Amino acid sequence: MRPVEVLRFSMRALTGHGLRTALSLLGVMIGVAAVVVLTALGEGARLYVVDQFASLGTNLLIVLPGKTETSGTMGIGGVPNDLTLDDAQAIARQVAQARRVAPISMGTEEIAYRERSRQVLVLGTTSEYREARRLEIERGDFLPDEEMYRGASVTVLGHKAARELFGGEDPLGKVIRVGGWRMRVIGVLAKQGTKMGINFDDLAVVPVRTGMKMLNRRSLFRILIQVHAHTDLDLARDRVLALITERHEEEDVTVITQDAVVSTFSAILNTLTLAVGAIAAISLSVAGIGIMNVMLVSVSERTREIGLLKAVGVARRQILAVFLAEAALISLAGSLIGLAAGWAVVQAVVRLWPAFPATTPAWAVAAALGVSVVVGIVFGMLPARRATALDPVAALGKR
């Protein structure tokens, strides 16, 4: 039998038992679709996190109070020093690689205008923050360029906060109350959405000194540093850490780079994607068992046909090829249908949540196709070998 005849013979056998073939296809389809959808969700989560960190700005360092490493003796040791405005100013003056330094204080307060009020996030910072975080202004101005120690009574509102508080009225120049403080609105941010857990549409930005007093804070929440060039990140990190260690007389802060955070999250989510893909691939082995059972039934039902083929001189390897071709065709067709079904589900997810960039990685598509075909052939081997082992005389005598 030529390869074309083997293929034609296998196709006739499959179409002759439509329901049985369809059930086998369904098992493979579900397995492949699961791999496509789950890996797309994992890859989408990775891309979303990377995009969120990219939206922070470029060439950034973040100084956090406290160390991430455990040290000292249990029960002995003091509280880490506060991260202060003096520390931020020292970085701005002494770290040559620092282009912008934005101290940050953060808390929740009520803002009110006439009879309207709402709870919002209050972000205390300086004018440097806008450029470092690439914030856009819809109306007015951002915080004025002034020394970080000055506490002017001005505020910049997020887009939603301004709309909810003022309705159609122009907020610029109006005086509102922020946490009991009278503040003049000097600007409104353009729509920003939520970035790294901060909803920039529903907040009030105030000078950092004012924010610390308003929120009764002695220490800063973070210090955000933008360096001149990407190549300066590691050097700037080392110098910032050395400077703060010298000022505090101990290493009690953590300095992280934007790239390090992105790499860490990316590695974690890549591992997660591989894990969920492997879990989904287990269903392919279940589908393979289904193919094997279907093929075993097919061999038992086609005993006389197999005996006739052997009686007319068809070689054992050709009979083996027929049954392996049937298993491979089921696997390939099921995997192609599964790819289409999985792609449709992924597209539906993207349409429902456009901000979530779900996309199936190419390696997952290739792996799903390859594994499904291999599983089909491997699990089709036992029925195929059983078919080749039949005695032609005995097989022809069966009814």
Reported as a single tens digit per residue, the pLDDT across 20-62 is 667 777 878 888 888 888 888 888 887 777 776 666 666 888 8
Give the Cα separation of 337 and 120 in Å (integer).
49
Mean pLDDT of 258-272: 72
Q: With a cut of 70, say whether residue 282 has pLDDT above it.
A: yes
Mean pLDDT of 174-184: 91
- Record the pTM: 0.61
Neighbouring-strand partners of residue 199: 194
Q: Is 231 exposed, middle or buried (0-12, 13-18, 19+ CB in 10 A)?
A: exposed
Highest mean pLDDT among 99-113, 196-210, 269-283, 370-384: 99-113
Q: Is 7 exposed, middle or buried (0-12, 13-18, 19+ CB in 10 A)?
A: middle
Lowest pLDDT segment from 167-171, 182-186, 377-381: 377-381
- pLDDT at position 367: 81
| pLDDT tens digits, one per residue of 68-127 | 654 444 334 445 678 899 999 999 999 999 999 999 999 999 999 988 889 999 999 999
104 closest CA partner among 243, 212, 182, 183 = 212
Mean pLDDT of 249-266: 77
Q: With a cut of 70, say whether residue 191 has pLDDT above it.
A: yes
Structural domain boundaries in the chain = 3-52+264-397, 81-251
Q: With a cut of 90, say whether residue 372 has pLDDT above it.
A: no
- pLDDT at position 54: 64
Angstrom CA distances, 80 to 67, 188, 238, stand at 8, 37, 19
Mean pLDDT of 360-379: 81
Question: Which comes out higher in pLDDT, residue 276 or 302?
Answer: 276
Give the Cα separation of 142 and 100 in Å (integer).
15
Provide the percentage of residues in the chain whose pLDDT is more than 90.
25
Q: Give the confidence band of 172 by pLDDT, cuts at 50, 70, 90.
A: very high
Taking each helix axis as running N to C, give the angle between helix 316-352 and helix 258-301, from 0 to 180 degrees, rounded to the nearest 10: 140
CB of 36 within 8 A of CB of 368? yes
CB of 122 within 8 A of CB of 215? yes
Mean pLDDT of 274-297: 70
Q: Give the confidence band of 230 by pLDDT, cuts at 50, 70, 90.
A: confident
- Side-chain half-sphere of 359: how many Cα atoms within 13 Å? 8
Positions of E strands within 16-114: 60-65, 98-113
Q: CB under 8 Å to 3, separation ≥6 — which residues?
A: none
CB of 317 within 8 A of CB of 5? no
Provide the percentage of residues in the chain whose pLDDT is more than 70.
72
Q: Collapse the DSSP code of 12 into the 3-class scheme (helix H, G, I; strand E, B; otherwise coil) and give the result.
A: helix
- pLDDT at position 330: 77
Mean pLDDT of 183-193: 91
